[in-house]
Amino acid sequence: MTDASPPRHYERLARDYPRFMAALESVAVSARELGPLEEKTLQLVQLGAAAARGMETAVASHARRAARAGATPAEICQALLALATTIGFPAVAAALKWAEKYLEE
């Protein structure tokens, strides 16, 4: 798997819009602190949302983050496959391709 460094585009946004990105990070931290869900579960939820929106980079990012939080490749794939009846198989197949590309690295 790849290193934990953020994508270059994210780094550029953080450099160009530091106050905005800090506020966004604060929202993310607040959401994590709200309740009982563990980080792995939160990342799998965000993975599903990214897949539903067809966001290739976000799918890869949340697959990576879920793995770092303890999700196995099988759990990541199951989370995506479970979306088939909600977002459709073509969207799931694309998300699996994006996630598996990361998982194979």
Question: What's the token pair of residue 97?
Answer: 């391709």
Confidence at residue 4, expressed as pLDDT on a 0 to 100 scale:
63
What is the identity of the amino acid at 67? A
pLDDT of residue 86: 96
Exposure of 88 in the CB half-sphere (CA atoms within 13 A): 6
Per-10-residue mean pLDDT of the chain, 105 residues long, equals 70 97 95 94 97 95 95 97 97 96 80
Quick one: DSSP state of residue 36? S
pLDDT tens figures, 3-23: 567 778 889 999 999 999 999
Domains and CATH numbers, the chain: 8-104 (1.20.1290.10)
pTM: 0.85
Distant-in-sequence, close-in-space partners of 68: CB < 8 Å, separation ≥ 6? 4
